[in-house]
Amino acid sequence: MKHPCVQCYPYPNVQGRDFLISRDDFLPISKEDMQRKKIEQLDFIFVSGDAYVDHPSFGSAVITRLLESRGYKVGIIPQPDWRNTDAFKALGRPRLAFLVSSGNMDSMVNHYTAGKKPRREDLYSPGGVRGKRPDRAVTVYCNRIREAFKDVPVIIGGIEASLRRFAHYDFWDDRVRRSILFDSRADLLIYGMGEKPVIQVAEALESGMEIKYITYINGTAYIAPELGNIPDATVIPSFDEVRDSKRKYARAFMLQYREQDYHTGRVLIQPHGERFLVQNPPAAPLTETELDDVYSLPFTRQYHPVYKNQGGIPALKEVKFSLTSQRGCFGGCSFCALNFHQGRVVQSRSHESIIEEAELLLKDPEFKGYIHDVGGPTANFRHAACDKQLNAGVCKNRQCLYPTPCKNLKVDHKDYVALLKKLRSLPGVKKVFVRSGLRYDYIIADKKDEFLRELCENHISGQLKVAPEHVSDKVLRYMGKPSKEVYGRFVKKYFDMNKRLKKEQYLVPYLMSGHPGSDLSAAVELAEYVRDMGYNPEQIQEFYPTPGTLSACMYYTGLDPRTMKPVYVPRDPEEKAMQRALIQYRNPENYGLVYKALKSAGREDLIGFGEKCLIKPPRNPEKRRNPRSENRKRR
């Protein structure tokens, strides 16, 4: 059947009927689209730093489809030219508001590595081409919108806005910046996943309420001109105080960190000069039914046809044949921002909802029978950590798994195992992989081996990736990760299980360099562990101090905000390079850095010809005064 639109995909639509998906199946991105849909004026216009991908793994698609399902007319301006105000007028003036997001990533993380070097590609842009969005995209977009439409409400959300809602340390500027609400001049900020607040905000605007009076919705933050009578509010150190005092910054961070639960969180107020940032308590997590409803929205599950001749959107390939089964994480890793964004309460979809989505994958001509992943932030968390969380919220001063599993923790993989069995039994499914993060300490805490057996027997393709991150217990304490001994127990259990199943499968650990608490002695300890593993890890993550994480607070302040005690922070670029090089000491290009690191750490015993040595002695020791220069000669 021929479709009337000229730009089409040779894919079935979301119902699986065999005709082409056209641009009319997407939300409008141009005036021409609006005319074909007979829309004179849109209610909401969503401005996004990402290209337009209509898939539930993309926040812009979820929010816009959700608003559409409630009867609102919604359009999208993806990756507008921020140097041209006219680009923000492309869809006209929205009746209710502009919604603004940097996309699925913070724009600065999207642009720069942990070493502040420009990345080579942008996976959320057509063909992976860089330069389609500005630095600090939310702020830039909002200011352009203000130039184009001075009095239209502007609401910001997504990861960039969410994690910058308070005064925060900015790694790229190496200074404390104000709340993004002040720099962007937005009217309202929706933090977290956003579905519940955005519907409440939409309903308030639809009723005729002015945006300045929408100050009561959980999951939002706003600027107040004066400090009125707000019940059950906590005033935290001001922007001026946290900018000028690292101790006050650490104190403010912990007050924020402990008030991010929907049951117990209080209103937080942070003065910024003569005005006040006000954060309402977090929105309640979505129920199973509500989460199922989100994933049943009529996504085309494709990128917009306008990108067809531009190489498509690479980020879609990573998620197209994967299934999100839950949100939230009670793992509590210090370097993770989930506490500030998705929250610690796990929210799961029903088996029926996930299977229904899997059946859509089966109808895609590109599907080869392999479901690439079934999971979320942590794949083997399918329910709340304990019954208390459902009725009284999460503990403010206790993590569920760190330093040891809480006595109230419910350790049970039955539901996840049952889900995986149902998925792999679907006709047309050859293999179901688990590639999301797995908490190995949670697996160890399970008295039954059923999940580990199922995992090794049916859901791994030759190797399992897990994230111990480090092996030095002093570093692991700052990371909020289990001890080296726990990881060692898991390694043994994993290989014992594979031996029992007569399978030869490997374990690939993700490792991190340069985290607060890691000095050269800890980095050498990690290198020795890598030596004993017998192979060089390919993927090394250098610590990246992004807003909203406990580890970034440590990096900036030099204090552990949980104890207010000093913590060693590797800031010198050369030391960070040495710590990273130690993990990959077998790489000949790293020889100079490894040599200098071992000398600096007083570990010359690891330079030699013994089986425990990391590197051999230099051929001309007297010439090895500049390791970097020697590296260039070797090349």
Residues 467-517: tens digit of each pLDDT: 999 999 999 999 999 999 999 999 999 999 999 999 999 999 999 999 999
pLDDT digits (tens, 9 = 90+) for 227-264: 877 888 999 999 999 999 999 999 999 999 999 999 99
- pLDDT: is 622 or 167 the higher one? 167
Q: How far apart, in whole angstroms, are the C-alpha atoms of residue 467 and residue 469?
A: 5
Structure tokens at 161: 């806005």
pLDDT tens profile 205-236: 999 999 999 999 999 999 999 987 788 899 99
Bridge partner residues of 277 (DSSP): 223, 270
What is the average pLDDT across 325-341? 93
pLDDT, tens only, 342-353: 889 999 999 999
**Res 612 pLDDT > 70:** yes
Strands (E), 79-195: 97-101, 154-156, 168-170, 175-177, 188-190
Under 8 Å CB-to-CB from 372, ≥6 apart: which residues? 321, 322, 433, 435
- What's the confidence (pLDDT) of residue 22? 81
Alpha helix locations (H) across 56-132?
A: 59-69, 107-111
| 544, pLDDT greater than 80 | yes
Calculate the CA 115 to chain-centre distance: 19
- pLDDT on residue 88: 98
CB 441 within 8 A of CB 370: no
For 87-156, where are the E strands, in sequence order? 97-101, 154-156
The pLDDT > 90 percentage for the chain reads: 88
Does 180 reside within a domain?
Answer: yes
Q: Which of 175, 193, 221 is the last residue of a domain?
A: 221
**At CA 123, angle to CA 509 and CA 438, rounded to 5?**
25
Three-state DSSP at 100 gives strand
> Residue 362 falls within a domain, yes or no?
no
Q: E strands within 470-610? A: 506-513, 540-542, 559-560, 565-566
Q: Which residue in 40, 620, 565 sits closest to 254, CA to CA?
A: 565
176 occurs within a structural domain: yes
Q: Which two tokens stand for residue 392?
A: 């009284």
Per the structure, the count of domains in the chain is: 2
Q: Is residue 372 part of a domain?
A: no
| Whether the predicted pLDDT of 548 surpasses 80 | yes
- Report the alpha-carbon distance of residue 58 to residue 294 in Å, rounded: 12
> C-alpha angle with apex 27: 362 to 194, nearest 5 degrees?
85
Cβ of 383: how many Cβ atoms within 10 Å?
Answer: 18
User: Rounded mean pLDDT of the chain?
Assistant: 93
**Each residue of 385-440: pLDDT tens digit?**
999 888 888 998 889 999 999 999 999 999 999 999 999 999 999 999 999 889 99
Last residue of a domain, one of 168, 191, 221: 221
Q: Is residue 29 included in any domain, yes or no?
A: yes
Nearest alpha-carbon partner for 465 in 418, 421, 433, 424:
433
Residue closest to 39 by CA, chosen among 83, 114, 101, 95: 95
Q: Between 390 and 60, whose confidence is greater?
A: 60
Looking at the predicted structure, is the pLDDT value of residue 19 above 70?
A: no
Q: Cα 598 from chain centroid?
A: 35
Question: CB–CB of 239/217 below 8 Å?
Answer: no
Provide CB contacts within 8 A for 71, sequence distance 6+: none
Question: What is the mean pLDDT of the segment spanning 127-147?
Answer: 97
CA pair distance 321, 323, nearest whole angstrom: 7
Look at residues 42, 37, 18, 31 and name the one whose alpha carbon lies nearest to residue 96. 42
pLDDT of residue 17: 38
Closest CA to 303 of 79, 100, 112: 79
The number of C-alpha atoms within 13 Å of 450 and in the hemisphere containing its C-beta is 12
For 24-80, where are the E strands, in sequence order?
Answer: 44-48, 53-54, 74-78
| pLDDT for position 16 | 41
> Which is higher by pLDDT, 227 or 123?
123
> Could you tell me if residue 69 is inside a domain?
yes
Measured between alpha carbons, how far is 82 from 85 in angstroms, rounded to an integer?
A: 7
Answer for the pair 145, 97: CB distance below 8 angstroms, yes or no.
no
Q: Per the domain annotation, does 331 fall within a domain?
A: no
Q: Indicate whether 333 belongs to any domain.
A: no
Query: Residue 277 phi/psi, 5° resolution?
Result: -80, 130
What pLDDT score was predicted for residue 624? 47
Q: Tell me the percentage of the chain whose pLDDT exceeds 70.
A: 94
Q: What is the pLDDT of residue 231?
A: 81
Out of 195, 221, 247, pick the residue that ends a domain. 221
Is the preceding omega at residue 281 within 30 degrees of 0, hence cis?
no
pLDDT at position 10, please?
A: 40
Q: How many CB atoms lie within 10 A of CB 468?
A: 25
Q: Give the pairing type, strands 74-78 and 302-303.
A: unpaired
- How far is residue 297's CA from residue 122's CA, in Å, rounded to a whole number? 27
Q: What is the CATH number of the domain that holds 69?
A: 3.40.50.280
Q: For residue 182, what are the domain limits? A: 8-221
Which two structure tokens, joined as six digits, stand for 477?
């304490």
Tell me how far apart the alpha carbons of residues 57 and 316 are, in angstroms, rounded to a whole number.
9
**pLDDT at 621 (0 to 100):** 56
Q: How confident is the model at residue 627 (pLDDT cuts 50, 70, 90)?
A: low
Query: Between vectors from CA 584 to CA 580 and to CA 587, what angle results, nearest 5°?
Result: 125
* 522-526-531 Cα angle (round to 5): 145
Per-state percent for the chain, helix, strand, coil, to nearest 5:
40, 15, 50
